[in-house]
Chains A and B, each alone.
Chain A
């Protein structure tokens, strides 16, 4: 609860001592509120990333956005540890409109139990609808979606659906969307040269400036 530089200057100009209460009453002081600490968190499985994120992992029951310029830059490596843990616990993981066929041996090697993996082949508005239905149902552990055109409104719907269904939601979107604001609780951009992760936004704290190297 420190006075801002502005109000300190005000006090100095006025040349007298101003009581804290009056400053607060005049709404000249910004009071930092303690953010409610997230009770549970879901570790990403990448220790350096976990350490950077204020929630200590993926934000629970919220939408996380992963921005990349093309498939094949490590976007699955980022999630495989989480998916492996969820499927091992018998939670369903749904892929909505994925860009390719999940290669079973690679997913098995990553520890994902394919019995709990479901793929929904669709496109366009139906992909957003299906994602929302899956999130809202609450019967899935995580929903990964590749929406082709997702505007601010539809992302907000996904965010609300993730909260309603208490489900982890991931949306893969093009890197050029990084400049547009988004209602997602966490936004991570994947850079290729050098291979690294940049946290663009994270709910509950300032986005860390330091990128996380991505081992390929």
Chain B
């Protein structure tokens, strides 16, 4: 058992349904030329109305008018196929998109990490269901057999070639993925199952059919290796959801937003990377676009957190005109480094780690609201600090006592004759960068008992008023 095939029987429909907030409503995918519109796929609710795949749109409309029509989009199907490959990449490094609407995964090497096959299978199924895709799963010793068995089975796990022979022997020939000419020729010869074909002498088969049949049978049975092209995850993430109605409120945008961020998280988990920033574009009816930038300070990939941050930014945006489509772009995808955690947390209720809290604060209060502070070697008080969290404190020489609080702008002292406790201390610096200061600093005690750090600008004339620049707290 080395390969798993995941068949997505209604990929196109699921891709539309998962973006819709009412998946239970009747829906039909329409394709074909402008002259002849044909129903390509329908969901369960639409089927109950009598709609079927292959009907012409006129027939469908004659049967009922209460269903939503969505254009069958080949580009979207290819994109979702790629997206699911990115998701599958989190389970296996060998993912192949050789067959349309199907994924092939090598799992032998993944079993050690994800547990025995039943548990692994349950996980694959639950994640696919959460992502909103219907699926059939088959595990088999080789990829071609897995794909072909998935035509007839769901949940089958074939462990060795002995069992593969038995299962394949019972397979009907029309489910085997043979080309139609060979299949019909075999059917006309009265052959129905693989067993009957294998019972025939090989050289007669080679004589009557082209080499493709024997080649296919050999690869199915694992007697001939097959080379697969492996999927390489893309460097960036981009998904667009087209809404099939106009959305005018922020609240209604939350559903597609949750899908988008969850998809981003699934993609990031597959690449084992985090996201440092992403952009949500809202495409309006009138063709204009609004943009919501979400920036993070450290790489993250937790789906709920990404959603909360995007929601925080989105709620501050005023939606001017109805929205037709929402897209999410993420380009900055550095490697994800999980946060270092103690084995025994000192605080039992440490529920929100600091990084997450900081992002939450920044999302509501603004990017500049949360700061660290760092010393900067400059004599001028206003230059002696930097609003960044430094990695290493710089070495500061001994200096006279400095106040605990510094005012961003000096204020005039209201009192006339405060008591001078210490000073003056001359600070004269900055002639080289234009911020020239010449001040005498004093430690003052006001009548109300405040200890104030105030200065007088040194000048030729009489001394100026005391300017409060800090408080000794």
Contacts and interface: CB of A to CB of B under 8 A. Distances in A.
Contacts, number: 166
Interface size class of A (residues with CB under 8 A): 35 or more
B368 A121 contact: yes
A3 interface: no
Interface in A96-146: 98-110, 113-115, 117-122, 126, 129-130, 133-134, 136-140
Contact of B404 (A76, A118, A129, A166): A76
Nearest to A75: B473
Most buried by B among A72, A102, A122, A130: A72
A69 B446 CA distance: 13
A27 to B, nearest CB: 38
Contacts of B369: 120-122, 130
Contacts of A12: none
Interface size class of B (residues with CB under 8 A): 35 or more
A136 B349 CA distance: 9
B196 to A, nearest CB: 68
Interface stretch (B15-23, B92-100, B373-381): B373-381
B449 interface: yes
A109 B402 contact: yes
Contact of A130 (B348, B365, B376, B402): B365
Given A100-B471, A103-B406, A133 B361 contact: yes
Given A108-B393, A118-B371, A119-B370, A70 B353 contact: no
A190 to B, nearest CB: 9
Interface in A50-81: 69-77, 80
Contacts of B449: 69, 73, 191-193, 195
B381 A122 contact: no
A180 B384 CA distance: 40
B352 A138 contact: yes
10 contacts: A72-B403, A104-B374, A108-B375, A117-B372, A119-B372, A120-B361, A120-B371, A122-B369, A137-B351, A166-B349
Interface of B: 347-354, 356-358, 360-361, 364-365, 368-376, 381, 384-385, 387, 389-391, 393, 396, 399, 401-408, 448-452, 470-473
Interface of A: 69-77, 80, 92, 98-110, 113-115, 117-122, 126, 129-130, 133-134, 136-140, 164-167, 191-193, 195, 216
